[in-house]
Amino acid sequence: MRFDVVSLFPEMFSALTEWGVTGRAYQRGLTSLRLWNPRDYAHDPRKTVDDRAYGGGPGMVMMAKPLEDTVEAIKAEHQSSGVQTGPICLLAPQGERFSQKIAKDILSYGNLTLICGRYEAVDQRFVDRTVDLQLSIGDFVVSGGELPAMTMMDAVIRLIPGVLGDEDSAAQDSFINGLLDHPHYTRPEIYAEIPVPDVLLGGHHAKIMDWRRQESLKLTSRLRPDLIEDARKNGLLSEEDERFLLLLLK
């Protein structure tokens, strides 16, 4: 998986390339990242990449030309290195909500260009001419596209075969199976007078699996009933699951 990221603050991406699971994936060459600073494609000696909004109003707007020239440079680099250019994606509050499903789609493209906005907005003519899709991480405001870009890249990198060890892959199944995770416990056996549930201490593997499944179903139907609906539609609930869910309602 190759990412090209357009950002005025490329140094921020060391959070991704230097730490934890994503850092290891990067250092092992399972994913690659090229950073492109639109300031390097500015046309004046002052390296201007933003200007005031036509019609007035607060905040600056990112100019179309430096962004478009940056994307042209990315596409040229893909051509000369034999990379199939994937979608050109703008991170934007008004974009489609990012999801696990979109993470899987992106993985299948093999390449993604992420444009990180700063200031109030990006010139609409750049969006219309060059951007294929716009993505958001949710209905709250952050200061730029960099953290959303890293969030999405992290979600995609975790799906690359070989990135997660066996232990983590199993944990990952719990979102893939469409339900919230069950509760977890570690030592000590009693903490603040609260014991670990008996079934987890018994060593009866099948019983433990049943208990975890039921806890997942309980939590999900209480906190995220919408996910139960989705899981049902996607054929992820067994007859036994449905019987247990009926019992919960009584």
- Please give the residue ranges that form the binding site for ligand 9D3 (CB under 6 A): 91-93, 117, 120-121, 136-138, 140-145, 148
154 burial type by CB count under 10 A (0-12 exposed, 13-18 middle, 19+ buried): middle
93 strand-pairing partners = none
Report the nearest approach of ligand 9D3 to the CB of residue 66 (Å): 17
Compute the distance between CA of residue 108 and CA of residue 111 in angstroms, rounded to an integer: 8
The set of catalytic residues is: 93, 120, 158, 173
Phi, psi (degrees; rounded to nearest 5) at 196: -70, 140
Percent of residues in the chain assigned helix, strand, coil, to nearest 5 = 50, 15, 35
Q: Are 224 and 187 in contact (CB under 8 A)?
A: no
Report the nearest approach of ligand 9D3 to the CB of residue 95 (Å): 6
Report the nearest approach of ligand 9D3 to the CB of residue 221 (Å): 28
Report the nearest approach of ligand 9D3 to the CB of residue 152 (Å): 9
How many CB atoms are located within 10 Å of the residue 124 CB?
A: 11
List the structure tokens of 114: 């992420």
